[in-house]
Structure 1
C-alpha cells in the first residue's frame, strides 16, 4: 500500500430528517464511527455542518481515504456527495483530529457567519482549498480555546 499522504475534500447535502434530537443523534453516530474508523485507518480531518450541508476534509494514505469516501457515499444520511479535491500533500493540516467537528455550537456558527453570508454556505460555491482553509482555521481556533 502506498503510504503517501492525500487530502480529499467533499461536500454533501444533509438527508437526516427529524427534530434537533434526531439530528444530534445521527451526527453523534457519524462522528463516533468516523473517529473509530479514522484512528484505525490513519486518517485525520474535520467535518463542518451548516444549513443542511456537510463539508469534510480527510487526510491519510490514498487507499484508506478513498475507502472512507466510499463509505460516506453509501451512507443514506449524505446526499449529492460531491468530490471537490483529491490531492497529494506533504503534511497533515489536522494531525491531532481523528475527526474534528465544527459548526454545532452558537460560537462556531458565529465563527463562520461571514462564509455563510458570502456563500449561503453552499459548499458547491466553494473550492476544495477554501473548505480546507476554513476547516483548518476553525480547528486551530478550537485547539487554542
Structure 2
C-alpha cells in the first residue's frame, strides 16, 4: 500500500437509542466489515455521542463512511477530521471500543456544540490518548 493511500477519518454522531444490544451490534458489524476492508480504528461512545476514528485505504474509508451515513442507528453525523496519514493509530484493533472513559467533554459540553468549536488537533489528540492507554487485552 502506498503511504498516500492511508486515510484517517473521524466523525461524531448521536445514537438513535442507546443500549448494550445496539452497541454490541454496531461493534460486531464494524469489526466484521473492518477486517474485510483492512480498516482499523476506535469507537468512543456513551448514550449521547459516538466519536469514531477509522483508518485504512482511502477507498475503503470512503465506503465505510458512506455505509455509516446510511445506518439508522446514527443521527446527526458530522465529519470532524479527514486526512492522509503515514501510520495507523489503531493498527491492532479492527474496532477498539472505549466506553467514553477517554472522552474529555461533558454531556453538557457536547449538547452545547463543543465539537463545532474545537480544533481537529484536539480531536486527534484525544484519540492518540485512547491509543496510548488501550492495552492489548482490548485488541479485537
The normalised TM-score by structure 2 is 0.82
Tell me, yes or no, if structure 1 residue 132 matches structure 2 residue 128.
no
- Give, in whole Å, the separation in 1 of the partners of 2:21 and 2:107: 30
Indicate the SS of the match to 1:120.
helix
Please list every run of 5 or more consecutive structure 1 residues that lacks an aligned counterpart in the other structure: 18-22
- Give, in whole Å, the separation in 1 of the partners of 2:15 and 2:6: 28
Indicate the SS of the match to 1:65.
helix
The residue aligned with 2:69 is: 73
RMSD: 2.5
Indicate the SS of the match to 1:25.
helix
2:86 aligned to which of 86, 90, 115: 90
Structure 2 vs 1, CA of residues 77 and 124 (structure 1 numbering), >3 Å: closer, same or farther? farther
The residue aligned with 1:20 is: none
The residue aligned with 2:105 is: 116
The normalised TM-score by structure 1 is 0.80
Higher helix share: 1
Structure 2 vs 1, CA of residues 86 and 119 (structure 1 numbering), >3 Å: closer, same or farther? farther
Structure 1 residue ranges, 4+ long, deviating more than 6 angstroms after superposition: none
